[in-house]
Amino acid sequence: MSANTIISVEHLTKKYNLNKSAQTENDLLIKSLFHSFKKITQKKSTEEFLALNDISFTIQQGDRVGIIGRNGAGKSTLLKILSRITPPSSGRVQIDGRVTSLLEVGTGFHGDLSGRENIYLNGSILGMSKQEINKKFDEIVAFAEVEKFLDTPVKRYSSGMYVRLAFSVAAHLESDILIVDEVLAVGDAAFQNKCLGKMEEANHNSGKTILFVSHNMGQVSALCNKGILLNKGQVEMNGPLPEIITHYFNNGASENVTCFKYESKPESEYCIRQVRLLNHQLQECKNFAHDETISIEIEVEQHVKLNDVLLGIRFCDMYDKRIFTSNIALTDKFEKNGTSKFKITIPHTTLTPNTYNFSIGIHIPNIQLIDEKNNVGTFQIYDNGSEFYKYSDVDNGVVFVNCKWEMTN
């Protein structure tokens, strides 16, 4: 490794053997009933799955790297190997420094031990001396905001309290590399921002290297300066974070899907069954000119009529920053139980050329979330000759505003 390289990954591969049963458990149970409960042997076939397939990259000391990719891309497997939780099938990983990691709620904690005891346990596992832990103890407790429950067994903690304490231990104890998976999504928004600030502070003050996995591009972009895009166990792209995010949304985030279908949920009063992206000719599309209207058609199924129910849609930029929301009342929109379609149209020349995503929910404000589809899909708006066409690689915001200009003297 070069002098500044802190992590080197060379031709890393991780294989899993998937045992596929020739018969389901129900099949075996039924057969056993008709064969006087005789033991029936379940035949299994083995299939090999490559969670990581011959990947190589290096990370420099002080880098803040966002690991990006769809579910199943290999992100968590990579972090587990780097954290030495699971071994690779082949390849080589070289790490120059002490690693702390927060991959799952409760990783490294013992449920029967108190919060106080788990701080010392976790610190010891990470190779810290008792004196080192004592030095950081008060900071850890204050940051986690669990003073009242410090001597309570952590198995009685809520998931949010668990994460607060686990993150605080990982962030405050002395280490060269901090690895954080999507576990922060369990905490509330205020604590998530607090965690991001702490990681940025640790990077700035002590040069700590950070590897961060999240589907929230806003969090990733706020913290990280570099990115690694994984796709089906391989490194698809490695470099500056803005380029990675743009490539991810344009090519991989939704696989160019324009129609999204969902299963019926009879146990729910309302459910979303289908969503379609449509252009001004009402054809399915995900690429729109800036001066073209954009429509989203949503099919909703009603099983039980409720009062004050809203169908809402939220639009965000590629960093998951909310741009605007819109709602329509569902009460009295159905003649009888069944499905109805609703269409929202964004007027032309509203959004500037860029990549956007949207989420949909059915809810009773401040009372009940009935159904929700987060990050349903993405769409691209391209420049068809707007006032911004002369500029490249410039952030022009997300909306066109028809402002009035005049000379006053």
Residue 335: per-residue pLDDT = 84
Closest among 363, 330, 323, 341 to 278, alpha carbons compared: 341
Domain range for 368 = 259-382
Report which of residues 187 and 398 the model is more confident about: 398
The first and second tokens of residue 169, run together, are 């231990």
Structure tokens at 403: 């402002």
Of 316, 295, 317, 298, the C-alpha closest to 372 is 298
Examine the domain organization and report whether 329 and 180 are in the same domain.
no
* Nearest Cα residue to 249 out of 354, 382, 353, 345: 354
Asked whether residue 397 is assigned to any structural domain, the reply reads: no
* pLDDT of 28: 53
CATH of the domain at 72: 3.40.50.300
Q: Is residue 407 part of a domain?
A: no
Domain boundary among 252, 283, 316: 252
Domain co-membership, 158 together with 293: no
Beta strands 294-302 and 259-261, pairing class? unpaired
Between these two residues, 30 and 11, which has the higher pLDDT value? 11
**Do both 14 and 96 map to the same domain?**
yes
pLDDT score for 211: 93
Q: Is residue 361 in some structural domain?
A: yes
Same-domain status, 223 and 278: no
Which are the contacts of 278, defined by CB distance < 8 A and separation ≥ 6?
Answer: 284, 285, 294, 295, 296, 297, 343
The last residue of a domain, from among 198, 232, 252: 252
Tell me what the pLDDT averaged over the chain comes to.
Answer: 84
239 lies in the same domain as 289 = no
Residues 108 and 224 in one domain: yes
Q: What is the pLDDT of residue 394?
A: 66
pLDDT of residue 188: 67
Domain count across the chain: 2
Q: Are residues 102 and 244 in the same domain?
A: yes
CATH of the domain at 264: 2.70.50.60
* Residue 364, domain member (yes or no): yes
CA-wise closest residue to 155 among 107, 119, 113: 113
Decide if 137 contacts 129 (C-beta within 8 A).
no
pLDDT value at residue 37: 47
* Residue 123, pLDDT above cutoff 90: no
- Shared-domain flag, residues 224 and 333: no
**What confidence tens digit (pLDDT) does each residue in 60-87 have?**
999 999 998 888 889 989 999 998 889 9
Domain shared by 71 and 182, yes or no: yes
The reply to whether 49 and 118 lie within a common domain is: yes
Reported as a single tens digit per residue, the pLDDT across 344-394 is: 999 999 999 888 999 999 999 989 999 999 889 889 887 877 777 666 556
Q: Is residue 409 part of a domain?
A: no
What mean pLDDT do residues 284-291 have?
A: 88
Establish if 399 belongs to a structural domain: no
CA distance 246 to 20: 38
pLDDT of residue 233: 93
This prediction has a pTM of: 0.64
d(CA 109, CA 154): 8
Given a contact cutoff of 8 angstroms between Cβ atoms, the answer to whether 401 and 380 are in contact is: no
Strand ranges (DSSP E) for 61-119?
64-68, 90-95, 99-102
pLDDT for 296-319, tens place per residue? 999 999 999 999 999 999 999 887
Residues 227 and 267 both lie in one domain: no
What residues pair up with 44 in beta bridges, in sequence order? 21
Residue type at 49 in one-letter notation: F
Same domain, 175 and 220: yes
Q: Cβ(188)–Cβ(177) under 8 Å?
A: no
Question: Is 400 domain-assigned?
Answer: no
- pLDDT tens column, 206-236: 888 999 988 777 778 878 889 999 999 999 9
Q: Say if residue 88's pLDDT is above 90.
A: yes
Q: Which of these three, 252, 285, 313, is where a domain ends?
A: 252
With vertex at residue 96, the alpha carbon angle to CA 95 and CA 102, rounded to the nearest 5 degrees, is: 60
Is the separation of the CB atoms in 95 and 6 below 8 Å? yes
Strand partners, 314: 325, 359
Mark 189-210 as b/e (b = at least 16 C-beta within 10 Å): eebbebbbebbbebbeeeebbb
267 CB contacts (<8 Å, ≥6 apart)? none
Assigned domain for 220 exists: yes
Residue 253's closest CA among 265, 244, 241? 244
Q: pLDDT class for 186, splitting at 50, 70, 90? A: low
77 CB-near residues (< 8 Å, 6+ apart): 14, 51, 52, 86
* N-term to C-term CA, the chain: 65
Comparing CA positions, the residue from 344, 356, 365 lying closest to residue 295 is 344
The token pair at 141 is 């407790």
